[in-house]
Structure 1
Amino acid sequence: MFSQFLKENRYVPFLLTAFRLYLGWEWLTAGWGKISGGKFDASGFMVGAVKNMSGDHPSVQPWWGHFLNEFAIPYVDLFNVMVPWGEFLVGAALILGIFTSFSALMGLTMNFAYMFSGTTSTNPQMVLLGMFILVAGTNAGKIGLDRWIIPVLKKWIFKKAGNQSILENV
């Protein structure tokens, strides 16, 4: 019932726009700070997270620590590009209201990665606001570029698919 309210109410996009602008600004400034601040290096953060998976009350679960140790740290150069540009692009997309659901999902993914790594900060509140945006679907981007982009994409996909029944619920 609440999800239906978020998806269909005509006044909800105004509240969601405020959420989008707040989250977008947080992501945009975090990403831009890393991009423009010189060489960003996530290795110290990752190594610190791996150290926090031991002890009486570990803040990092072993499965996540092993992922960081076995995959993320060896490929830290990839993450050094993906993290700042991912934050920046998610922020820009949320502010513009373009591909809003996908952008919110990517933001949530990053928030959870930071929380899995043992940090809290603003991540829980960002997760909560991001969930509202994600559940609302296209209603979250109605005051934004999604208002025009999504209908065009649907028409293009229907034309390519040749069968509208495939995407009737999109």
Structure 2
Amino acid sequence: MFINFLRNNKIAAGVLTILRIYVGYEFISAGWQKLSSGGFDASGFLAFAVKSATGDHPAVQSWWADFLTNFAIPHVDLFNFLVPIGEFAIGLGLIIGCFTKTATFFALMMNFSFMFSGTTSINPQLVLLSIFIIVAGSNAGRFGLDYFIKKFVPKMSEIKEKGHVEKRVA
């Protein structure tokens, strides 16, 4: 019942728009800060996360520290590029309501990555709000560009009616 409300109700769409813009603002401002500072470097953050995987009560799980050690740190230049651009793009998408579900998915991925690395800050709050946005589906982008994009993308039922979908052979 609540999920149906989130996915179909216009009042829910209005509330979701406010939540979407707030989450988008947090992302776009974090991305812009990194982009405009003249050089973002994640190496210190990554090293601290790996260091936090030791001790009696580690803040970072060993499997995540292994990922950071074996992939993220050796490719820190890639992360130095992707994190600010990603944050900015996610924020922009959420603010204007364009590809809302995709932007929210990547917002969740980034927030969980930060939390896996031992930080909390605003990330749990953004995860909680993002869950409402992603569960709402298309309704979260009703008051945004998704409303207009949706008109140009055919529904799966329309594609099937026109016979554009090949039938599977058993």
TM-score by length of 2: 0.91
Does the CA contact (< 8 Å) of 2:159 and 2:165 recur in 1? no
Instruction: Give 1:148's aligned amino acid.
Output: F
Task: Provide the secondary structure at the position in 1 that maps to 2:84.
Answer: helix
Give the Cα separation in 2 of the matches to 1:58 and 1:155.
47
Matches within 5 A, 1:81-96: 81-96=81-96
1:156 and 1:2 map into 2 onto residues whose CA distance is 25
Residue deviations 1:35-55 (CA, integer Å, cap 9, x gap): 010111101100100000010
| CA-CA distance at 1:10 after TM superposition | 1.9
Name the % identity: 52
CA–CA distance in structure 2, aligned partners of residues 30 and 154 of structure 1: 35
Q: Normalising by the residue count of structure 1, what TM-score does the alignment of the two structures yield?
A: 0.91
Q: Rate the CA distance shift 1:121–1:161 in 2: closer, same or farther, 3 A.
A: farther
What is the Cα-based RMSD across aligned positions, in Å?
2.1
* Structure 1 contact 21–95 (Cα < 8 Å) conserved: yes
Which has the higher Rg, Structure 1 or Structure 2?
A: 2
Structure-2 residue corresponding to 1:69: 69
Is the aligned partner of 1:126 residue 2:126? yes
The yes-or-no answer on 1:15 pairing with 2:19 is: no
Segments of 5+ residues of structure 1 without an aligned counterpart are none
Match of 1:137 in 2: 137
Which amino acid is the alignment partner of residue 134 of structure 1?
Answer: I
Q: Secondary structure at the match of 2:54?
A: coil
Matched residues in 2 for 1:76 and 1:114: separation? 15
